[in-house]
Every structure is written in structure tokens, then in C-alpha cells.
Chain A
Amino acid sequence: MTAADSDFADHRALADALTAERPLHALVRALHRISSAPVAVIDLHGGVLVSVPERAEWMAEELVAVSPPADGPVAGCVLRSVELEGEPVAVLAMRGQGASTKLLSFAATLAGIELSRRHAILSGRRELLGQVLEDVISGYLGEQEGARRLLDHGLDVGKPHEVVVGSAEGSPRRLRSYPWNLHTLLTQQNDPHLRTIVDDRVVLVVPEQAGLFVARLCHEHLASIGSNARVGVSKPRAGVRGLRLGYFEARNALAEGYGVHVHRTQDLPTALLIASLEAGVPLRDLSAEALAPLVEYDRKNDTLLVDTLRRYLAEDGDVGATAARLFVHRNTLRNRLRLIEELTGRDVSSPSNYAHFWLATSGLDLHSSANLSSLFERGTVQDD
């Protein structure tokens, strides 16, 4: 047998592994047989997916510390990136130099193909679940029908669950294509917890007490695929109505910005704002109409009445604090507020007008529900 024949036979043995009952295991076993070296597939968190021999010792964290892996050996292993839709998701590690790097690269490509195949199946299931969850969130499904449809996807809403919602700025396609847990792909079962994409945000429904654990991991995932990763966690809730409320609570907490945030009860105004946006209320148009006299006056006279109003509300109507933040004299501020009242016909100090102006200035800033963090950055919602 020539070297070329042997090379062809090795490639053939690896390719044939994909037709086995457990293709990834068969692939790693085949590579181990060819190389006589320990071989493993390790996810980017350092979790071992498959290893032959099974009890081989892997410095897993060290091996996945750099992604994509370096060309040279790391901790005595040759590494190749395993990619799913062009995204590195794991490494194929072989101890020593038992096989050609070309063969290792070929095996890594096959591993990527197998993971992609399994991921496509799981993504299809998530799409179906996403439709059900959207119907639940928008209130199209009642308690009984919603519970039945969710049970079809393995969720018993009779038990309390926490909702985790996460987002990151970047490509929505990456959000869909990113495999959250490669171990799930290997089992060929559904996600261990309900996980889907709604409005370009990842939504997870997890058992009570699990929210923070899952949220931290979700944030880690999102931070690796986009910027400004943020995750919100709801309180535990039971029932279809509870799930809907949990979603809005998690969305509310998500609006606090980068990192992981748990819903706080006093964020009711923002929750209502989010709920109205989700329901398709044209809040920005209504806000623009309510503030039109001020916007128009600012445009014609190069003034800052809208900004002044915004800051006045953020400072809870404290004239001294608002003047200090705006670097203007208190009398200047009082003149501006008087002008705002004349132009809008509303007394800025009355509680009902205060709510009107808060909604109007908040709504004016919202091009979509994605930039709710501006509410917190402006301090219109108070921290604990």
C-alpha cells in the first residue's frame, strides 16, 4: 500500500464514522485508532464532549483558552478548531503528533458538519417553541390552551419557573446559529430548559432558583457573540399568565444595561412601557405629538427645553439639583419651566402631568424597545 493509499484509507475511515450510530464518538474513536494517540472534542468552556480513551486526562481549560487555537502544540496537544456555521464552538485535541495535521483538520471539519446537522434539528424545534412563546407573551393563548401547548414542549407551567431574557448587539443570525450547549446536541434530546429566540432576544424558561445560574452563563454566551450583552431574570411565576408576567419582568430587568439583572418590583413604569411597546402601541408617535410644541420651539430658537424637562424629571422635580446638573442658574431653570408650561398648557409640578411628561420624554427616546436602557441611564427609574 502506497502512502497515498494509506492517506485515502484514513480519510475514508473518518468520513465513514459519520454514518455510525453515534457519529462524533465514532469519529474520535477512528482518529484515535489511526493516530494511537488520545483524542478529544472539548467545548469552549472546557467541558469534554467525547474522549478516547474515555479517562484520558485533558487540561481542558488550558486547551480552550485561546480560540481559535494556535497552530503550535498547547499542553502537548495539537488542536484544531471545530466550527459551526463559521463560528468556533469546540476544539479537536490530539495528544502528541500521532496523525498528520491535515488529517486532524479533516476530522475537525467532519466534527463541525456533525454538530451543524444536530444543531439544525434542535433549531427547528426552537423555532416551533418560539412561536408558542410569542403567542403566550402577546396574550393570544389562554391559560388552558397555553398550558397544553407548552406541555407539548416539556414545560409544566403548573410549577413555578423563572424567565431569563438576554440580548446583545450584533447579528441576529449569530444569536440563532450559536449552539448554547453542545452536550444537548450529543443527546439528540430537546434543550434541558425551554430556550428560544423572540424578537432577536434569547428567552429561557428555567425552574425556580435556576435563573441566576442560567443567566450568568447566558451572559457569558452573549458576550462572546456580540457587544453590550445584557440579561434579565424574572421572579419565579407559575401558570401561563405568570410566564407572560415573568417575560415582562425579565425584559424590564434586561433594560438596566450590561450584565445580569434581576427584576425589581418598583420598576412598574418601565414594565408598563415595555408591555405597551411589545403590544405595538405607537408610543414614539404619541410622545412626539405630546412634546411637539417644545421640539418645535427648540428647533426654531436653538434652545434645550426637552432636555431641561428630561433632567427635571430625572431629578424628581428638584429645582436646585436640576439647575446644578444643567449648569444654569435656578432662575434660568424656572424661566424655562414656565415656558414649557405655557407651550404645553400643563403644570409640570402636578402628579398627573408629571407622569404624562415622563412617558412622553421616555417614549420620544425609544426608536424600539431595544434601547430601554436609556431610561436607566437617565435615572428616570430609581435604583434600590
Chain B
Amino acid sequence: MTNSVRVAIESVLFLGGDTDATRAFFNLVMDRLHEGSDSGQTVSFVPSVDAPTPPSGCWVPCFGSTDKNASAGRALEFGADLVANLALGGRDLSMYSAPDGALFVLADLIDPKPQPQTLGQVAFVDLYTPRAKEAADYYANALSCRVIHELKPTPGDYRFLAWGDEPVAGVVDMLDVLPESVPPHWIPYWRVLDLEGEVARLSDFGARVRVPVTESALGPFALLADPFGVTFGLQTPLSDNLLVEHAKSRS
């Protein structure tokens, strides 16, 4: 479902855990990649809010909306709970707990134009949840998106949300790859050129490779855990293009 309210992934927040140490690590992740380009401010670190988070912290996506109030109303109407209001960088953000318990943030969309594919920035986010279909339907309703399903081979049973032809977020059936005991969680993907080189570089800083460089219908990717155990991903600009192509082909 798509309407005139435009929604896009705008940034990610790291919530809880050892925010200073995690910030230091992700500065290293992003620093070299940003050389010669505008780094932007796509990652924020928030010590804690009144919401349950794992001890090592978790990633939370921030979706920008051209009509935040309307998106917030829909988020609540379809079953989310408002858990915190935050002020970050002079902006008001609202954090919600979705029906499956995963957290997400809504903000005003600053720049409604599609963003350039900058290396070192977060390119995409995937939600890993045991209730993939319900979750995809929920976000489609809350974020005024449509659900695109059945891409193979993919990391598990895969759906992704698109606003028009623009990909917004992916939803992975977590039970295909992880035990049920793992709570639903978001994984942000940093955009890099040399996947294997970056995997080696980041493992030199203490990252642990969970999924080595792997081909998929949406381009190659790798999953790593930061030195504190929180998972993040790497992908290449090819994934940006493939996601758009798939979204267009399913319009």
C-alpha cells in the first residue's frame, strides 16, 4: 500500500550497551570509508531509554516521514506503543515498540529527495523477526509502504518494504537462520566497495564474522558482530541498485 506520505530510512540509532565504546568502534567502521566524501550524520548513539534493550545494546532504525503525525497515528493504530520521545541534534524523534517488540523511530523527513549512495553510510536495514509476515504487514500499514516477497536466494524467507520504487527496509524470517530464543532485532548494513577487505579490516578491530561474504539475489553481503556482540552488516552499492530494480519489477 502506498499513499502520498513518503517514508524513507533516514538514519540508525544505537541504543543502550556501552555507547561510548560502540561509538568508538563504529567511528572506525565509517572513518576510512568516508574519506573524500561528506560523511553525513546517519548514526546516533543513545545511552538508554525506558524500553527493554539487550545488555549489549541494539540498533533501531529511524524512518523519516513527510507527515510524521500521520505516520505516528498509523503506527499506533496498527498496534505499536510509544516508548520514548527523544531530542537528537535539535530534532524531535518518537520511538515505538512494534507488535513483535522490535523498536523503531519516526522523525520528520528532512530531505525528501532520494539520497546519494555514499560509501560508509548505512545503506539499508533488515528486521530479523520470528513473525515475518505479520511484521511486514504491520510496517507496510504503519509506514504506508508495500510488501515485496519471495526473492530467492535470499537470507531466509525475505520480504522488503518499498515506497513507490524506493526500498525502505527488509524483513527476514529469523527462524530460517536463528533460534527462536533470539529476540526480534534490526541489522543495519553499511555500504562498502571491497567487502572482503572490509571484513578483514574490521575483524582486525575485534569484529567477529557471523556470515562471511555471501552472494544473494540482492547482491553480496556479510554479517559481523561488533566487539560487544551486536550484529551489523556490510553490503555494496550493487545492493542499492538491485533493490530498486526488484521494487520496479514488482510495481
Contact A184 B212, beta carbon cutoff 8 Å: no
Known pairs A57-B178, A187-B196; A207 contacts B210 (CB<8 A): no
A55-B177 in contact given A181-B203, A187-B196, A214-B205 (Cβ < 8 Å): yes
Cβ 8 A contact of A207, one of B25, B31, B199, B208: B31
A193-B204, A213-B24, A213-B25 as given contacts; A54 in contact with B209, CB under 8 Å: no
CA distance A209 to B20 in the complex (A): 12
Q: Give CA–CA (A101, B208) in the complex, Å.
A: 28
CA distance A287 to B179 in the complex (A): 65
A207 to B215, alpha carbons, bound, how many Å?
A: 30
In the complex, which residue of chain A has the Cβ closest to the Cβ of B212? A48
Which residue of the partner chain, among B24, B156, B205, B212, contacts A49 with CB atoms under 8 Å? Answer: B212
Q: Verify B211–A184 contact, CB threshold 8 A.
A: no
Shortest CB-to-CB span from B80 to chain A, Å, is 29
Q: How many A-B residue pairs have CB under 8 A?
A: 77
Cβ contact of B200, chosen from A45, A48, A55, A187, cutoff 8 A: A187
A189 proximal to B (CB < 8 A): yes
> Once bound together, how far apart are the Cα atoms of A51 and B155, in whole Å?
14
B178: min CB distance to chain A, Å: 6
Q: Could you tell me if A192 and B212 are in contact, using CB atoms closer than 8 angstroms? A: no
Q: Are A192 and B204 in contact (CB under 8 A)?
A: yes
Considering only CB atoms, which chain B residue lies closest to A213 in the complex? B205
B237 to chain A, nearest CB (A): 19
Chain B: CB-nearest residue to A186: B196
- 26 interchain pairs (CB within 8 A)? A47-B208, A47-B209, A48-B209, A48-B211, A49-B209, A49-B212, A54-B211, A55-B214, A57-B177, A181-B200, A183-B199, A184-B200, A187-B196, A187-B200, A189-B197, A192-B197, A192-B201, A192-B204, A209-B31, A210-B205, A213-B24, A213-B205, A213-B206, A213-B227, A214-B204, A216-B206
Binding site for A on B (CB under 8 A): 24-25, 27-28, 31-32, 155-156, 176-179, 196-197, 199-201, 203-206, 208-212, 214-215, 227
A residues apposed to B, CB below 8 Å: 45-51, 54-55, 57, 60, 180-181, 183-184, 186-187, 189, 191-193, 207, 209-210, 213-214, 216-217
